[in-house]
Structure 1
Amino acid sequence: MAYVTDLICYPVKGCAGTSTSDAHLTLAGLAHDRSFMVISEDGVYRTQRHHPRLALIRPAVSADGTRLTLDSADGTTRYGTVCLDVTTSAPRRDVELFGAAFQGIDQGDTVAAWLSEVLGTPSRLVRVPPEHDRVTQGLTPGRAGYADSGAVHLLSRASLTLLNRRMSERGAPPLPMNRFRPNIVVDGPGGHRPDSDGGDWATVPHAEDRARHVIIGGAQLGYAKLAARCAVTLVEQEAGARRGPEPLRTLAEYRRAASGGVVFGAKFSVIRPGKLSVGDEVVIQEWGDTEC
């Protein structure tokens, strides 16, 4: 069978992820995923594209979402740790995400000062309001918090293995999975591709591109779109710094989407919430054609 090997939640958009063995999948993705966002003083979202040091910020959120802790993995202790009681009742403020207008709940001056020091630029932290109802587009529309373009990013180890092999052919070192910041990582062996040559689908690179309806644990996912890749993939997550042209240079050779840009992995909307666990079987109920 194909199975889940990793579940990763990113409580604060752009910051480090937290691996977990079990997670509840809500209509907006893994519980607490991208429910917080770092913004400039005028409300524009911050991203690793321009602020790679975001990768060094390690969030931890309580199970009920009422307590958030941030620390820095920069190799020093000069920033310390900041802990805050999450507020959902403070006044809303306008925020901007990819040019679209949303609302956020400002989490106060203490965490704002901490973030500003770590990032070296004035910054604030906002939370998704309870009334947030953002609709994401794609083959299966869905809901999301502050995620880029869909609730769940799913990626297979087979896809990364192929990329690393192609990069090695041009003398580039392999990259870890965290360069691509997936929520669900899938591995084989198991299942069979719905085509004449058979084979284990989870060991076939980019098979996730063709998965249209997926059952994992108690949840059901619907394919939305391919995951477009940007300069965030150039950031070494452990260092919080941009490193050279890979993987975008290699992906441009064989992963150009028909609509333009390069793609790697797939975005899914949540059709039915439920519990997910590492080791869960990944069942593909329906397949489609690849867009790449």
Structure 2
Amino acid sequence: MAAVVELICYPVKGCAGTSMSDALLTPAGLAYDRSFMVISEDGVYRTQRRHPRLALIQPTVSADGTRLTLDAADSADAPGRYGTVGVDVTTSLPRRDVDLFGATFQGIDQGDDVAVWLSEFLGTPSRLVRVPPEHDRVTDGLTSGRSGYADSSAVHLLSRASLALLNRRIAERGAPPLPVNRFRPNIVVDSRPGAGHEGGDGDWAAMPNAEDRARRLTIGEAELGYAKLAVRCAVTLVEQEAGTRQGPEPLRTLASYRRAASGGVVFGAKFSVLRPGKLSVGDEVAVQEWGEAEL
């Protein structure tokens, strides 16, 4: 009764997402998702928390993963100034240490041309690294898994029903609704057209925040296992089309009804990959096992 309505990959951590009709789900998430990361010169990760202009960079990865293109959206202060930079992706150069939330991983620097471009666009010295082929990061949660440079688990899933409820509550405060891209999900689900909203688990996608309770689900050829609720941060305050922080929504409203027992404001759920496979918009999303929400 539920189906995939959007698939979004974020090749460069913190940069804009790419919507797809079909995608390969690997053990570390959608193919090439968060496989690149912008870092400071001393290797510390950059995200929209401190550099919201990252949202204005649109990455494109070639089908074979050997070519990355970064296209900068026009900004009000410099329309057409930055243009595009291309990167011939390398995995053979020496590795360097990179810092992600205080943990040390390895990255492969992608060269000076893209570093100069990023530094100019972000207004601070920056470089670009790629996850090495031998990268084997184990993520935490109820179901452990693998991921690239994602904040935590490989897959972030969110339902349109959850967003609709949030936007109704935001409207009650006199604020405008927010688009789904504020939350940067990989998979967005909704009820199939014509599905009856009887309120049972058979039509779970019609129930706001039902993804909180999904412990194992199948989509297309793939299977996902629940890891944890998605803790929300200041990235949700960034207007993705403008690359600027707009606050205080949605964190103000989420804090009124979505505080987790373990702490933090949560919205959506993170999943680990149990079985890789092809995903497509329109695929049925079937929950095979339910649990209790961690709220």
TM-score (norm 2): 0.96
How far residue 42 of structure 1 moved from its aligned partner, in angstroms, is: 0.3
Partner of 1:56: 56
**1:191–1:202 Cα contact (<8 Å) kept:** no
Partner of 2:67: 67
Partner of 2:16: 16
1:265 to 258, 265, 268: 268
**1:13–1:147 Cα contact (<8 Å) kept:** yes
* SS of equivalent to 2:184: coil
How far residue 256 of structure 1 moved from its aligned partner, in angstroms, is: 0.0
Q: Deviations over 1:128-167 (max 9, x none)?
A: 0000000000100000000001000000000000000000
Query: What 5-or-longer segments of structure 2 have no aligned partner?
Result: none
* SS of equivalent to 1:200: helix
2:130 to 114, 127, 131: 127
**1:2–1:191 Cα contact (<8 Å) kept:** no
Give the paired residue count.
290
Distance 2:196 2:127 in 1: 46
* SS of equivalent to 2:46: coil
Partner of 1:29: 29
* SS of equivalent to 1:205: coil
Partner of 2:46: 46
* SS of equivalent to 2:167: helix
Kindly indicate whether residue 169 of structure 2 is the aligned counterpart of residue 144 of structure 1: no
Q: How does 1:73-112 map to 2 (within 5 A)?
A: 73-75=73-75, 76-112=79-115
How far residue 192 of structure 1 moved from its aligned partner, in angstroms, is: 8.5
Structure 1 stretches (4+) deviating beyond 2 angstroms?
189-193, 197-200
Partner of 1:183: 186
Partner of 1:290: 293
* SS of equivalent to 1:173: coil
Q: Taking every aligned residue pair, what percent have the same amino acid on both sides?
A: 81
Kindly indicate whether residue 222 of structure 2 is the aligned counterpart of residue 219 of structure 1: yes
**1:220–1:273 Cα contact (<8 Å) kept:** yes
Distance 1:46 1:247 in 2: 22
**1:51–1:119 Cα contact (<8 Å) kept:** yes
**2:33–2:148 Cα contact (<8 Å) kept:** yes
2:173 to 166, 170, 173: 170
Distance 2:27 2:238 in 1: 29
* SS of equivalent to 1:257: coil
How far residue 13 of structure 1 moved from its aligned partner, in angstroms, is: 0.1
**2:226–2:269 Cα contact (<8 Å) kept:** yes
Q: 1:42 to 1:28 in 2, by over 3 A?
A: same
Partner of 2:241: 238
How far residue 201 of structure 1 moved from its aligned partner, in angstroms, is: 1.0
Give the letter for the 2:263 counterpart. Answer: G
Give the letter for the 2:61 counterpart. Answer: V
Give the letter for the 1:50 counterpart. Answer: R
Give the letter for the 1:36 counterpart. Answer: F
Distance 2:213 2:201 in 1: 15
Distance 1:191 1:268 in 2: 27
* SS of equivalent to 2:255: helix
**2:74–2:81 Cα contact (<8 Å) kept:** no
How far residue 80 of structure 1 moved from its aligned partner, in angstroms, is: 1.4
Q: CA RMSD in A?
A: 1.3
Partner of 2:117: 114
Query: What 5-or-longer segments of structure 1 have no aligned partner?
Result: none
How far residue 214 of structure 1 moved from its aligned partner, in angstroms, is: 0.6
TM-score (norm 1): 0.97
Distance 2:148 2:233 in 1: 20
How far residue 74 of structure 1 moved from its aligned partner, in angstroms, is: 2.6
Distance 1:68 1:92 in 2: 19
2:256 to 242, 253, 258: 253
**1:211–1:286 Cα contact (<8 Å) kept:** yes
**2:197–2:206 Cα contact (<8 Å) kept:** no
How far residue 63 of structure 1 moved from its aligned partner, in angstroms, is: 1.1
1:208 to 207, 211, 219: 211
* SS of equivalent to 2:25: strand
